[in-house]
């Protein structure tokens, strides 16, 4: 029965316990500031030694070795792995345990919590493949519980599950953010119970008390873990003790020079990079002859390096915007930035000379060419300059600029339609203004003119659309001081009949050079009027882009146009 005493023999053998174990080690994924760090799940093995100093309480030392390979990647892009390498973890911890049943019970559930160092050790093969890898030492807090079960007075089984909480290792990578990681260990093992209480008492010899004080216990120097940097405070602690319990005095030295105060703790700020050697002399404050030296112990201080932008890339460096594209192309901007871990995490800010960016606060950004403005007509090219600024936690910044090119192809331009009266091919004054004041001045070395003629379904003359095209062409080429003086070769036509592919855009002419104003009161255009029209387009010379309505353009019949002269 759980909790029932296993007998007096078991109670006497529960004083000391040794527990070899094995199991599995799991870690969560850390995602922060654009990076993902994952210690891959693996196996663990080790041993524990416990001293049951009361019926319910124990003290336990724990050592375990686990294999948890490391993987660093870009956040939200698990396929983009920065580094993937072998890693081993060795941990040492000291825990008090509370056992819910008294010593000697067959079934002993317990809870525990403790602390100790963890050493993250990339494998020899990993360090050979990645020369920048380094080992890390972090302090871990562990907590959990389990159960011990007696098979015999001296042998039992033990199941244990406990979580861990500790600083994540950087492995020497400068951009890995500092945060905490959570882990879980599930283990099973044997328990060996020792020390028969009665025999131990009977065998204990009487020792004559001596008044000579025992030597001081030097302990060790602890603290100053993680990244040690120039200009940052490091703290050391001397763990020396006196078996007699006397007050102790402390004299610290750094590189042979006295530092600090009479205190077991030392706070020291290195003003330069390099190796610093620390030691402390600990003495009995009442008996200076009782003295012990702790150390020396050497710590490497890293230099502070300003952030540096090694390069800025734009991919692609040249973009061509096509008129038939379903979506605007983008340009991916990326910065290659180097800095030291002493500078802390970097922040980023991107800017561009024109247009706008997405995700402008990371080491890369996205430029959308749709944010650029181009004028319709001739082809244009724009050079966009991108600038990135990287700033470390100390406020020091570095900037770099680069450029990329966006090409915009030539496009046709549509002018207002020339509207005709029913069954008429005469160009009215409003239409002449569109042709003479807008179309003709823009045509020349850059543009040709394409005309598309229409008639409405209630107009019976089947050639009326072609006659309207010739009248418009005559206004553009007739000269005679009133008409324009374009060359016939600059004009192409297409007679569309009653086909109405493009929406109508009637010209409402006002005074000269003031389009889109009613010519006179009552001159509104009806829906049927809008079908009696000639569409007017400016098309770049040599360009392949034609308006959809101009399906089969042809050159002008020169003789017929010249015969019309300059229409009145």
Residues 72 and 180 in one domain: yes
Question: What is the tens place of the pLDDT at every residue in 314-324?
Answer: 999 888 886 55
Return the pLDDT at 326: 61
Q: Select, from the ranges 8-17, 59-68, 222-231, the one with the highest average predicted confidence (pLDDT).
A: 59-68
Residues 558 and 421 in one domain: yes
* Comparison of pLDDT for 395 and 157, the residue scoring more: 157
Residues 261 and 341 in one domain: no
The first and second tokens of residue 318, run together, are 């040249």
Residues 462 and 499 in one domain: yes
Share of the chain above pLDDT 90, in %: 39
pLDDT beyond 70 at 325: no
* Comparison of pLDDT for 201 and 526, the residue scoring more: 526
pLDDT beyond 90 at 389: yes
Within-domain flag for 450: yes
The first and second tokens of residue 518, run together, are 């009613």
pLDDT beyond 80 at 46: yes
List the strands of the sheet with 397-408, edge to edge: 318-320, 397-408, 380-391, 347-352
**How far is Cα 493 from Cα 475, in angstroms, rounded to an integer?**
14
Return the pLDDT at 35: 72
- Where does the pLDDT of residue 96 fall: very low under 50, low under 70, confident under 90, or very high at 90 and above? very high
| 488-500 burial code (b ≥16 CB/10 A, e <16) | eebbbbbbbeeee
Residues 145 and 178 in one domain: yes
Q: Length of the chain, please?
A: 568
Please compute the mean of the pLDDT values over residues 547-564 and round it to a whole number: 88
pLDDT beyond 80 at 6: no
Residues 129 and 155 in one domain: yes
Residues 474 and 338 in one domain: no
Domain of 507, CATH number, reads 3.30.1330.60
* Comparison of pLDDT for 348 and 304, the residue scoring more: 348
Of 102, 117, 98, the closest CA to residue 11 belongs to 102
Residues 384 and 428 in one domain: no
Within-domain flag for 188: yes
* Comparison of pLDDT for 84 and 116, the residue scoring more: 116
Residues 191 and 57 in one domain: yes
The first and second tokens of residue 285, run together, are 């404050």
Please compute the mean of the pLDDT values over residues 111-118 and round it to a whole number: 94
Domain of 175, CATH number, reads 2.40.160.20
- Where does the pLDDT of residue 393 fall: very low under 50, low under 70, confident under 90, or very high at 90 and above? confident
Domain endpoint, select from 408, 427, 447: 408
Within-domain flag for 126: yes
Please compute the mean of the pLDDT values over residues 225-246 and round it to a whole number: 86
* Comparison of pLDDT for 78 and 56, the residue scoring more: 56
Average pLDDT of the chain to the nearest whole number:
84
Residues 419 and 560 in one domain: yes
* Total count of domains within the chain: 4
Within-domain flag for 422: yes
Domain endpoint, select from 173, 203, 233: 203
Return the pLDDT at 394: 79
Residue 559 contacts by C-beta under 8 Å, 6 or more apart in sequence?
none
**How far is Cα 363 from Cα 106, in angstroms, rounded to an integer?**
60
Residues 238 and 116 in one domain: no
Return the pLDDT at 89: 92
| Lowest-pLDDT choice from 5-9, 10-14, 123-127, 282-286 | 5-9
Residues 430 and 526 in one domain: yes
Within-domain flag for 183: yes
**What is the DSSP secondary structure assignment for residue 327, as one 8-state letter?**
S
Question: What is the tens place of the pLDDT at every residue in 469-522?
Answer: 999 999 999 887 789 899 988 999 999 999 998 999 988 775 444 444 544 444
The first and second tokens of residue 360, run together, are 């402008």
Domain endpoint, select from 301, 323, 357: 301
| Lowest-pLDDT choice from 31-45, 197-211, 366-380, 392-406 | 197-211
* Comparison of pLDDT for 517 and 155, the residue scoring more: 155
Three-state SS for 205? coil
What does 400-442 look like in DSSP terms, one character per residue? EEEEEEEEE----EE-PBEE--TT-----HHHHHIIIIIIHHH
Question: What is the tens place of the pLDDT at every residue in 346-359?
Answer: 899 999 998 889 88
Of 411, 410, 413, 409, the closest CA to residue 321 belongs to 409
Within-domain flag for 464: yes
Please compute the mean of the pLDDT values over residues 542-565 and round it to a whole number: 85
Please compute the mean of the pLDDT values over residues 148-163 and round it to a whole number: 92
Contact 250, 324 (CB under 8 A): no
- Where does the pLDDT of residue 446 fall: very low under 50, low under 70, confident under 90, or very high at 90 and above? confident
Question: What is the tens place of the pLDDT at every residue in 237-294?
Answer: 999 998 988 999 999 999 989 998 999 999 998 888 888 999 999 999 888 889 999 9
Own/partner pairs, 145-149, CB within 8 angstroms, 24+ separation: 145/109, 145/110, 145/111, 145/112, 146/109, 146/110, 147/107, 147/108, 147/109, 147/110, 148/17, 148/99, 148/107, 148/108, 148/110, 148/191, 149/106, 149/107, 149/108
Residues of the domain holding 423: 413-564
pLDDT beyond 50 at 78: yes
Return the pLDDT at 521: 45
Within-domain flag for 72: yes
**How far is Cα 443 from Cα 439, in angstroms, rounded to an integer?**
6
Return the pLDDT at 75: 67
Domain of 268, CATH number, reads 2.60.40
Question: What is the tens place of the pLDDT at every residue in 171-215?
Answer: 887 777 778 889 999 999 999 988 754 433 333 343 344 457 889
Within-domain flag for 320: yes
Domain of 359, CATH number, reads 2.60.40.10
Return the pLDDT at 57: 93
Return the pLDDT at 249: 93
């Amino acid at each position: 029965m759980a909790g029932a005493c296993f007998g007096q023999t078991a109670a006497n053998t529960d004083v000391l316990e040794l527990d070899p174990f094995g199991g599995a080690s799991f870690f969560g994924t850390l995602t922060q500031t654009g990076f993902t760090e994952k210690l891959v799940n693996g196996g663990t093995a080790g041993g524990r030694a416990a001293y049951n100093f009361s019926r319910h309480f124990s003290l336990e030392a724990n050592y375990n070795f686990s294999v948890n390979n490391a993987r660093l990647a870009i956040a939200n892009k698990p396929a983009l792995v920065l580094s993937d390498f072998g890693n081993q973890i060795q941990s040492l911890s000291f825990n008090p345990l509370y056992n819910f049943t008294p010593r000697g019970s067959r079934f002993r559930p317990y809870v525990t919590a403790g602390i100790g160092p963890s050493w993250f050790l990339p494998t020899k093969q990993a360090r050979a493949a990645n020369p920048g890898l380094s080992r890390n030492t972090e302090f871990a807090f562990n907590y959990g519980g389990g159960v011990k079960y007696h098979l015999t007075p001296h042998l039992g089984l033990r199941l244990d599950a406990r979580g861990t909480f500790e600083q994540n290792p950087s492995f020497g990578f400068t951009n890995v953010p500092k945060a905490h990681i959570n882990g879980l260990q599930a283990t099973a093992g044997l328990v060996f119970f020792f020390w028969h209480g009665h025999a131990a008492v009977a065998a204990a010899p009487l020792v004559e008390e001596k008044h000579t004080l025992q030597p001081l216990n030097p302990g060790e120097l602890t603290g100053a873990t993680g990244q040690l940097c120039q200009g940052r405070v490091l703290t050391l602690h001397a763990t020396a003790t006196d078996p007699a319990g006397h007050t102790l005095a402390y004299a610290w030295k750094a590189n042979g020079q006295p530092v600090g105060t009479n205190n077991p703790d030392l706070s020291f700020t290195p003003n330069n990079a390099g190796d610093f050697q620390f030691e402390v002399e600990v003495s009995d404050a009442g008996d200076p002859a009782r003295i012990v030296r702790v150390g020396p112990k050497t710590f490497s201080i890293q230099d502070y390096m300003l952030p540096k932008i090694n390069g800025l890339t734009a991919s692609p460096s040249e973009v061509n915007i096509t008129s038939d594209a379903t979506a605007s192309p983008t340009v991916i901007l990326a910065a290659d930035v180097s800095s030291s871990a002493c500078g802390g995490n970097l922040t980023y800010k991107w800017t561009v000379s024109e247009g706008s960016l997405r995700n402008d606060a990371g080491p890369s950004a996205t430029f959308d060419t749709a944010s650029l403005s181009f004028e319709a007509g001739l082809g244009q090219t724009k050079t966009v300059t991108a600038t990135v600024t990287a700033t470390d936690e100390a406020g020091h910044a570095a900037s770099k600029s680069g450029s990329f090119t966006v090409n915009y192809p030539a496009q046709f331009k549509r002018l207002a339609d020339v509207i005709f009266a029913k069954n008429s091919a005469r160009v009215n004054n409003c239409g002449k203004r569109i042709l003479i004041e807008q179309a003709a001045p823009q045509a020349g070395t850059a543009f040709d003119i394409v005309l598309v003629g229409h008639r409405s379904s209630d107009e019976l003359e089947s050639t009326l659309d072609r006659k309207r095209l010739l009248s418009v062409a005559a206004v553009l080429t007739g000269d005679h001081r009133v008409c324009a003086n374009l060359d016939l070769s600059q004009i192409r036509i297409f007679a569309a009949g009653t086909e109405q592919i493009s929406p109508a855009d009637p010209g409402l002419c006002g005074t000269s050079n003031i389009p889109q104003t009613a010519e006179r009161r009552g001159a509104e255009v009806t829906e049927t009027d809008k079908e009696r029209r000639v569409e007017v387009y400016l098309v770049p010379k040599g360009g392949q882009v034609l308006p959809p309505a101009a399906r089969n353009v042809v050159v002008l019949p020169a003789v017929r146009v010249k015969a019309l002269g300059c229409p009145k």
